Amino acid sequence: MSLTDSGRRIARLVGASDRYALSFVLIGLALAGIGGYVIFDLNTAQRQVGQMYAGSVRGLDLVGELQYQIQEARRTLLYGLTTTDVNRQLEHVGRARASDAEVFALLSRGQALRVSPELDEGFRRLRQDWTDYLTNRDEVIASILEGDPNQAMQLNMESGVITFNRVRDSLGFIREQFYAEADRQLARVQSLFRDSLGKFAISLFLTLTFTVFAVRIVQRNKMLDAVRSSETRLREVVRSIDEGMLVINKNGCLQMWNQAAVRITGKTEDAVLGRPLSEVLPAAASSTLGEAIAQSQKVGVGATLKDLHLSDSAGDRAFVARVFPFEHGTTVFFRDAPVWPADPALPPRGLVEGTTEPPAVGDSQPAGPSNGVNPAKNAPPVVPTSGEWEYFISPAGRVLSCSPDFECHTGYPVQLLMENPGLLRELVVEEDRPLWDEKLSQSAEGKSSPRVQCRIRHSAGYFIWLEQTWEPVHDDNGKVQGTRICNRDITAWKRTELQTQKDLEAVAHLTRIAASSGLSASITHELNQPLTAILSNAQAIQQILTLDPPDLEEIREAVEDVVTDSLRAGEVIRRLRVLFKRSDLAKRRLDVNELAWETVHLLRNTMALQRISARLELDASVSPVLGDRVQLQQVLLNLLINAMDAMDGERQENKSLLIVSSRDAGNSVRLSVHDSGSGLTPEVMEQLFQPFFTTKKAGMGMGLSVARSIVVGHGGMLWATNNPDRGAAFHFTLPIAGEPTV
Amino acid sequence: MRTKGKWRFAVFVAAMLISLPVASQAPQRGEPMAVIVHKSNPLQSITFDELRKLCLAERRNWPHGRRATIALCEIGIPEHNAVLEQVYGMNEAEFNRYFLQGTFTGEIKATPKQVASVAGVRHFVFNVPGAIGFVRLSEVDDSVKVLQLGGLSPTNTAYPLNLPPGNSKEPVPKAKLP
């Protein structure tokens, strides 16, 4: 991102924050207010709880302490009655009086609480009662210490108990008052808690509402910005389209009309927007286009109108229109129609080449232009963008049902196919009809056939490639009711494949020529041997002819040798011609062992010159493969020459070559070439099959790349490994002939 | 500085030597013992004879009608011996025999209460309105009332009831009162 872009982005953000600032300030103030209110409420609750603690809890604690001290005073006094020892009596009396002092101190604290008038009165009464009790108690103490327990008991029973009960009642009254006060305060705290809870809930609700509101504001503004930005970009894109473009809504009114449309039709945007199609385009064109739009909306796929006519001041012009439905309307692109070839047998642009044959429809078949079923003549065909369709046929081959797309792909109406049982077979090109018949019979037996490739003729005359899946349909009893055939148009793919094949062949030819340098020694030797023999025999014949009489038998044998050697030389030349000839791919059944023998034979003299010992371990039971002899020989030749080059520089006893053939897993045959060179490093192994990668000084780097392409083209694989002891090995597999390859 | 200190020491020694003969010539007298009663007791003074009658239980009640109860320290405390010697005019054996005989014959209803400490005597008097006790003057506090004896307060040099000399300190009480 450039500095300018960054600056713009920051400026945009600052601008956005300005817009949102007021909203956020208001929301922040509201949240701060709510927070302050909640804090105030919590503070009030805390104060109430503190008051409750100071009033009721402390009061009840004080009551408990008072009760203990009063009981202690009473108890210790009664202990004094249980002994005659004056010292023990004095001890108990002292404790009782200490409790008296505590009681008075507690009473003073209680009166200082000032919780309620009732409690103040209760404390005053308790103090009075306690004072009365102490007066009586002093008499009891005196009697005890004077050694008159009877009088002490009598005093205690007569008035001591009464006054003490009054003290106890007063204490009970105080306790009840404190309990009542505690209940009142607890009720107040609970009420406050409920109020706080309600306020908190309201605050929470308001906070969430404000937050949601803020988020919605931000989201809305961001969305608006995004929509504006997208709208601007969309307008720029639409303006840049050099095809006419229009968008029609569900009601059939125009919503978009670009500059190219203005240029093509001469109608401005203001003049057409919001108006129905019929008011914008000529009646015929709007009708045709309207139907195409309705149909594409119905099926949900795009369509192409190849012959849309618009009339204006410039005259009648043909257009190609492409219709794309979407949820709320339809987009239409239109441009000038290309000029089609005059000969209807020639394929339109963009279809497979070399299909100039006219439709091969029999006399009995109502197909072809002569029968008036060429849709291109009558109405522009609607070609859906989907490339698949299917039909269901009876075991006898009669079409029982068919997808509507059949018409789009073949140019023949479905109705015609249904009315003519033999039409479907007639549409298949002649070379592929045996395959059709074979698959029909297999499906009648209940066998399915995946990925069957065949060609059918279009009503316009060219053929299209199909990949079919034959799937028999059984009834409840297992009887075959018919076959469902799913078709996929692979014409474009086939065209690419054919082109690739041609390119491969061209490269292979080049590499074969390049490999000829590796064969030069062999070629020289192969030709030199018979030529030398021919020369020797010719010279021998010359000498024999000088004899009188000449030995005719010798001459006859020499001539036979000459013939044999000439044939041998011719064979060598023929093989070389085959190797260097640029011919089309011709796959035939061939024996890989024979291929190996033949290739090694070609190189045997080179091997001998380089002192390389070759060994063949060929499995006689391997099945024939389906392939092009020249191409496969080229592969093996490449591997052998590479192996020989890899051993260059090695000692003689180390130069050995091993060719192995075997049956591989998965119904294929494997051929392996092992050398005893230095092997392959991991770096080399990684790039071995890449084009233009070579380790040779004079290499092109195409040999192994082409070899792999050839093997893959034959349905096999080519790879390399290092031998366990030394050297490298190259392996390739080829499928056995008779496997399901069409 | 050293000279000034020496002078001070010389003056102190001289004063001590001068005062020694004077002290030896005065009569021997211990700390006075106060006669204490309950604060509610209306009496301010009592004669020695009345005190002796109360102590010997010859007289049972106070003039205002309240029964009199005698509180003494236990044996071994100087106040005990001083009261027996100076009030009762008896030794310990005579004291025991007197009250045993009186109790046996029924003439004496209540014997003196013997308390474990001087403070106990004070507490006893504080708690019993008709009680009378004897404590050294330094042990007297506001909780009790001190009676004049024969019109003489304990601080008077002619006060007749005193501890023997050399018993100014009270022994450790047997049990400490709260």
- Backbone phi, then psi, for A469, in 5-degree steps? -120, 115
- pLDDT of A583 > 70? The answer is no
Average pLDDT over residues B97-123: 89
Q: Does A494 contact B at CB distance below 8 Å?
A: no
If pLDDT is split at 50, 70 and 90, which confidence band does A363 have? very low
Chain B hits for A90, Cβ within 8 Å? 115, 120, 123-124, 127, 177
User: 10 Å Cβ neighbour count for A488?
Assistant: 17
CB contact under 8 A, B131 and A145: yes
Q: What is the 3-state secondary structure (H, E, C) of B18-55?
A: HHHHHHHHCCCCCCEEEEEECCCCCCCEECHHHHHHHH
Q: What was the pLDDT predicted at B15? A: 57
Q: What is the pLDDT of residues A482-517, one digit of tens each?
A: 888 988 888 888 887 777 777 766 766 766 666 665
* Closest Cβ–Cβ partner in A94, A138, A146 for B67: A146
pLDDT of residue A525: 65
**b vs e for B103-129, b when ≥16 Cβ sit within 10 Å of the residue's Cβ?**
eeeeebebbbbbbbbbbbbbbbbbbbb
pLDDT at A340 over 50: no
CA angle in degrees (0–180, nearest 5) for A90-A96-A101? 125
From the CA of B69, how many Å to the nearest CA of chain A?
7
SS3 call for A203: helix
pLDDT of residue A357: 34
Tokens of B161: 């009831």
Mean pLDDT, rounded, for B84-101: 90
Residue among A145, A148, A150 with most chain B CBs within 10 A, to mutate: A145
Q: Is residue B174 less than 8 Å (CB to CB) from chain A?
A: yes
A48-52, A259-263, A390-394, B18-22: least confident range: B18-22
Query: What local confidence, expressed as pLDDT, does residue A377 receive?
Result: 36
Cβ contact (<8 Å) for A86 and B124?
yes
* CB–CB contact A94 B123 (8 Å): yes
Q: Is this complex scored with an ipTM above 0.85?
A: no
pLDDT tens digits, A32-41: 887 887 788 7
B125-173: per-residue pLDDT in tens? 999 999 999 999 998 999 999 999 989 999 888 898 998 887 655 454 4
How many CA atoms, within 13 angstroms, populate the side-chain half-sphere of residue A241? 21
Query: Does B127 sit within 8 Å of A90, measured CB to CB?
Result: yes
Shortest CA gap B86–chain A (Å): 24
Q: What is the mean pLDDT of chain A?
A: 79
Which region among A19-23, A98-102, A376-380 has the lowest average model confidence (pLDDT)? A376-380
Of A87, A91, A142, the CB nearest to B128: A142
Lowest mean pLDDT among A364-378, A581-595, B152-166: A364-378
The pLDDT-based confidence of A213 (bands split at 50, 70, 90) is: confident
Looking at residue A671, what DSSP letter applies? E
Any idea which of A81-85, A163-167, A199-203 has the lowest mean pLDDT?
A199-203
Q: Is A694 helix (H, G, I), strand (E, B) or coil?
A: coil
Residue of A nearest to B122 (CA): A90
Q: Which of B67, B120, B131 sits opposite A87 (nearest CB)?
A: B120
pLDDT of A450 reads 83
Task: Taking residues B110-132, report their average pLDDT.
Answer: 91
CA distance B167 to chain A (A): 23
Residues 113-142 in A contacting B (C-alpha not used; CB under 8 Å): 138, 141-142
Closest approach of B6 to chain A, Cα-based (Å) = 55
**Of A342, A42, A59, which is closest to residue A182 (Cα–Cα)?**
A59
Is the pLDDT confidence value at A617 over 90?
yes
According to the 3-state scheme, what is the secondary structure of A349-400? CCCCCCCCCCCCCCCCCCCCHHHCCCHHHHCCCCCCCCCEEEEEECCCCCEE
Q: How far is CA B42 from CA A143, B37, B57, B66, B147, in A?
A: 20, 10, 20, 11, 10
User: Distance (Å) from the C-alpha of residue A120 to the closest C-alpha of chain B?
Assistant: 31
- The pLDDT of residue A584: 60
Q: Given phi > 0 = left and psi -120 to 50 = alpha, else beta, which region is A716? A: beta
A vs B, Cβ pairs < 8 A, gives 49
Bigger pLDDT: A503 vs A95: A95
- Chain B partners within 8 Å of A95 (Cβ): 178
Which tens digit of pLDDT belongs to each residue from A689-706?
887 788 876 666 778 888
Give yes or no for A94 touching B (CB within 8 A): yes
**A146 with B175: Cβ contact below 8 A:** no
C-alpha to C-alpha distance for A257 and A238, rounded to whole angstroms: 9
